[in-house]
Structure 1
Amino acid sequence: MELRYEIRRSTKRKKLTITVERDRSVVVHAPSNVPEGAIRQLVDKKRSWLFEKLHHEQKYQPLPHPPGKELVNGEAALYLGRSYRIELVDGENATIHFAGKFLIPRAHARQRWQVLRQWYVERAREKILPRVRSHANSLGVEFEQANINDSRYRWGSCTPRNNLNFNWRLIKAPMFVIDYVIVHELAHLIEANHAPRFWNIVRAQLPAMERARDWLRDNGQRLEEEV
């Protein structure tokens, strides 16, 4: 059976990964210099897994396309670990509206990445910062400030002055991954290095630690990608 897939290349990507989107499309995320032969080999190797995912009756429901809405080249964007379609809409609203999909005013079509980025930053402040305070209370630690920043190199950081910084791109990841990064940085207020005691603290607060680390390892590059 023929297996169709889209190749998305990026100079920032370091390894090949395959994802099955909510509309059942298969996307291969590849470094810019990987030959198509290597991509075909990976797809062939994952063929059984892909067909299993594609025929999952609940996870990948077809996405209806309402009349009068225009897709932006079939683009989609991540939010809290899931991929949602982008649509251009008419109207006077000047901001993005999220309703199981990203509804972007048609006037912002060319600047959709900029307006989507601002939307991400606002959602990061709204959802991540309260969880920092909640986990800090659970761990019994105090911090000076928690901020959302634009780091290209770290998901989170803890400064010598006990300030915590979190990359806004984390809002694209599942909540259990966000919680892992938060707890990781808060644990540094107890244990400065990555000694066994440090990891015991993180694991005790977040039993899904290994699963979150695996998710970041496999999908971290996707969080860095622009639409």
Structure 2
Amino acid sequence: MQIEIQRCNRKSIVISVNSKAEVVIKAPYRTTDTEIQEVLKKRAAWIKEHVDKVMKERERAESLEPISSEELQKLGDKAVEFIPKRVEYFAEKVGVSYGRITIRNQKTRWGSCSSKGNLNFNCLLMLTPPDIIDYVIVHELCHRKVMDHSIKFWAEVEKVLPDYKKRRKWLNDNGGVIIGRME
């Protein structure tokens, strides 16, 4: 198992598993190797579970036809038509304004919101059900109110989408396979 340790200006240690099933540890500069090893031991079950999940997603994605550049272009065109209308609709429900909307093909994110209110969405969203697209849109619009993933943020999402946990789970369970078709 590949483990990458990144020391950076942060307050706590965070562990993630990327789309290549590599473990990435971000730790404060002052963290010792011993402390990192302790965290790895404590989180071993979580790490194994997530590495296994990514490996299964990669296998499922490899069994599917890769997405061609032509398909990506068509998905982008569909997204440009569909997503801005949904953003406009949900911005009113969330009670926020927004800046520019950009559609991209990304390997790691479904959407993002800048501090200036510009929104980015992955064209691969067009391969998901409409209620999942709506979830990602609402998620990003709620960042106009709360820029982190705190309890306050999730409360904002829940006001608009009371079933957001079900939608989030669907994306968690299926999103890696969709994105994996791009590699």
Alignment partner, residue 223 of structure 1: 178
Q: Deviations over 1:42-99 (max 9, x none)?
A: xxxxxxxxxxxxxxxxxxxxxxxxxxxxxxxxx779xxxxxxxxxxxxxxxxxxxxxx
For the pair 1:187 / 2:152, whether they are aligned, the reply is no
1:61-210 superposed matches below 5 A: 113-210=68-165
Q: Which amino acid aligns with 1:16?
A: K
Instruction: Tell me which residue corresponds to 2:56.
Output: 16
Look up the SS of the partner of 2:98 in the other structure: coil
The residue that corresponds to 1:29 in the other structure is 60
Deviations 1:109-168 (A, max 9, x none): xxx812111111111111112101110011111011111112222111111111000011
The alpha carbon displacement at 1:195 in A equals 1.7
**Kept after mapping to 2: 8 A contact 1:15/1:30:** no
Q: CA RMSD in A?
A: 2.8
Would the aligned equivalents of 2:76 and 2:123 in 1 still touch at CA under 8 Å? Answer: yes
- How many aligned residue pairs are there? 132
Contact conserved, 1:16 with 1:31, CA < 8 A, in 2?
Answer: no
Aligned partners of 1:11, 1:151: CA distance in 2, in Å?
Answer: 15
Give the structure with the larger helix fraction: 2
The alpha-carbon deviation at position 178 of structure 1 amounts to 0.8
Letter in 1 for 2:115: P
Name the larger-Rg structure. 1
After TM superposition, which residue ranges in structure 1, 4 or more long, deviate above 2 angstroms?
Answer: 10-13
Q: Which runs of 5+ in 2 are unaligned?
A: 1-18, 22-52
Do the aligned partners of residues 158 and 200 (structure 1) sit closer, same or farther apart at CA in structure 2, a change above 3 Å counting? same
- TM-score norm. by structure 1 comes to 0.52
Identity across aligned pairs (percent)?
A: 36
Structure 1 unaligned residues grouped into runs of 5+: 1-9, 18-27, 33-74, 78-111
CA distance in 2, matches of 1:193, 1:30: 30
Q: 1:191 deviation in Å?
A: 1.2
Give yes or no for contact 2:107–2:182 (8 Å, CA) kept in 1: no
